[in-house]
Amino acid sequence: MQDREPEGTGNELDEEDEWQLYASAGYASSELEAEEKDSEEDKPGEIWFDGDDFDSERSTVNWDSPPCPAPLGIAHVIKIGVCNHCLIRISGFRSRGSGPDSGAAIREEALLRDRELQSKITQDYCPLCENLFEDIENIVDRLFDTLSDTDFSTMQFGIHLPKDLLQEEDRIRSKYGAPGSYHLKGAIVESIHKRIRELDKKVDFVKEKPDVMVLVDGLTLRVDVDVRPIFLYGRYRKLSRGIPQTRWPCRACRGRALGCESCEGTGLQYLDSVQDLIGEPIREALGAEDTSFHGMGREDIDVRCLGSGRPFVLEVKRPSRRKLPVEDLVEMVKINAPGKVEVDNLKWCTRTKINEVKQSRSEKTYMIRFRAEGIDDNEIAEQSILSLEGQVIDQETPKRVSHRRAAKTRRRKITSIDKVSFEGEEVEITLRCEAGTYVKELVHSDEGRTTPSVQSVLGKDCEVVRLDVLEIHAD
């Protein structure tokens, strides 16, 4: 960027005149003190988030054109084209207001002091802001256009300004501006806040956890809006088998584009998932883009989850609406997934709940039904099964998950076995065990990788028929 200060400016008056003018500028000193107090209190450096600001060393005073608030300093910045917005910002008279009208008043006074000043102005393009203040209304209009279909009550606002503009602005302001002058970025953000308040929009500006994050490019005036996700905590019951917890892309086409023949264009291996049965009606109701599903563990596709259900967090991405009664959402899920999935205890939560849910490890109660051939004496068989109660079992990583889990041996406790019943060749047991127990393997032993097991204590081959999670003992 070229230096926009014309050369030789400020040399028109003779040195004595200048010195006098600067020396008589004492009336400004009380203004200056008030100014410094102000800027300390409102800590302007914290309003935005992209933070590419910097400070440079104040340069030594140039007596040919001393810094504002000296009248010669003000005359100089007017000469180099500084706009009324920037004039009030760097003149040292900020207590007279912050808008362009206050800048215009200062300009008028300067023109009265020096009748020639108007003709000495070298350009009408402000070297401090590149006339960006004139775009404030435009920026705010674009902002609300972009967000016209989005509910929000809090906003985090940032503006990106080209580094060379900031450097040049800082250089000129340090050299000719009054000490403690508000920097460009803070002033622009402040003007944008002010404009938004003028429009009477209900929005709070925050530094964290906003509903929307807005970043404006000061060069192109492009407005980028990031609508932040919202989160719902709840517990789900899966009443039907054959439903995976999360969306499962088609194996053949991997869910790309428009799907393939094998998934009939759905892109999904299983049409239903707990994620979509719960998430889709909610996504639609909130006008959101997509969802993520975070469960407290997961059950296999063929396993039901009953009782009070499994805790989960649903992340709703880019929602247009942020506030609907949760009772309505529960009802929508109920209508969408009859006989498949139910939701309880739904409430709004924050992102931190995801980790809480993911890290929590709870004991679970299962009902498992299996076939065991050649049991002659049910009473002896029952005693053998009950002998596992309170035992700690060793489980090597099961074969069926070894492709995605590291091989290791886990020790898990069978807390209790509450019920054993027989029906022909089928046995049903209700048991409670530690988090992370592979229950199917506990029954069939996974070719001896789990010891002891129901199969080992019975001495018969066992084959799992079905499994239900009866309760997850989470708080």
Q: Please identify, using beta-carbon distances, which residue of 4 and 321 lies nearer to Zn ion.
A: 4
Stretch 47-106 residues interacting with Zn ion (CB under 5 A): 83, 86
Please, which residue, 86 or 357, has the CB nearer to Zn ion?
86
Would you say 448 and 461 are in contact if contact means Cβ atoms under 8 Å apart? no
Whole-angstrom CA distances from 23 to 71, 158, 164 are 10, 40, 34
Q: Is residue 260 within the footprint of Zn ion (CB under 5 A)?
A: yes
State yes or no: residue 357 binds Zn ion (CB under 5 A).
no
Stretch that binds Zn ion, among 40-48, 110-118, 255-263, 350-358 (CB under 5 A): 255-263
**Strand partners of residue 413:** 392
Q: Which of 48, 42, 83 is nearest to 216 (CA)?
A: 48
CA distance 21 to 172: 21
86/278 with CB nearer Zn ion: 86
Residue 392 is which amino acid? V
Report if residue 128 touches Zn ion, rule: CB under 5 A.
yes
444-470 as b/e, with b when 16 or more CB fall inside 10 Å? bbbeebbebbbbbbbebebebeebbbb
Told to check if 10 binds Zn ion by CB under 5 A, we report no
Nearest Cα to Cα of residue 31 among 134, 118, 106: 106
Among the residue ranges 92-100, 107-115, 119-127, 311-319, the one whose residues contact Zn ion (CB under 5 A): 119-127
CA pair distance 449, 217, nearest whole angstrom: 60
Indicate whether 126 belongs to the interface with Zn ion (CB under 5 A).
yes
The residue among 244 and 311 lying less far from Zn ion, judged by its C-beta, is 244
CB-nearer residue toward Zn ion: 86 or 203: 86
Q: Minimal distance in Å, beta carbon 26 to Zn ion?
A: 27
Contact residue for Zn ion among 263, 313, 372, 393 (CB under 5 A) = 263
CB 390, min distance to Zn ion, A: 48
Q: Does 188 bind Zn ion (CB under 5 A)?
A: no
What is the rounded distance in angstroms from the CA atom of residue 433 to the CA atom of residue 413?
A: 6
According to the binding rule CB under 5 A, does residue 381 interact with Zn ion? no
Supply φ then ψ for residue 274, to 5 degrees.
-55, -40
The string over 316-333, giving b where at least 16 C-beta atoms fall within 10 Å of a residue's C-beta and e elsewhere, is: bebbeebeeebeebbebb
# binding residues, Zn ion (CB under 5 A): 11
**Active site residue: 64, 300, 418, 446, which one?**
300
Residue 129 binds to Zn ion (criterion: CB under 5 A): yes
Question: Is residue 300 annotated as part of the catalytic site, yes or no?
Answer: yes
Query: Are 18 and 72 spatial neighbours (Cβ–Cβ below 8 Å)?
Result: yes
Determine the Cα–Cα distance for residues 61 and 176; give it in Å rounded to an integer: 8
Q: Does 259 bind Zn ion (CB under 5 A)?
A: yes
Length of the chain: 475
For Zn ion, which residue of 61, 105, 252, 420 counts as binding (CB under 5 A)? 252
> Given the complex with Zn ion, which of 61 and 260 has the nearer CB atom?
260
Q: Least distance in Å: CB of 262 to Zn ion?
A: 5
Query: Could you give the residue numbers annotated as active site?
Result: 300
Chain residues in the site for Zn ion (CB under 5 A): 83, 86, 126, 128-129, 250, 252-253, 259-260, 263
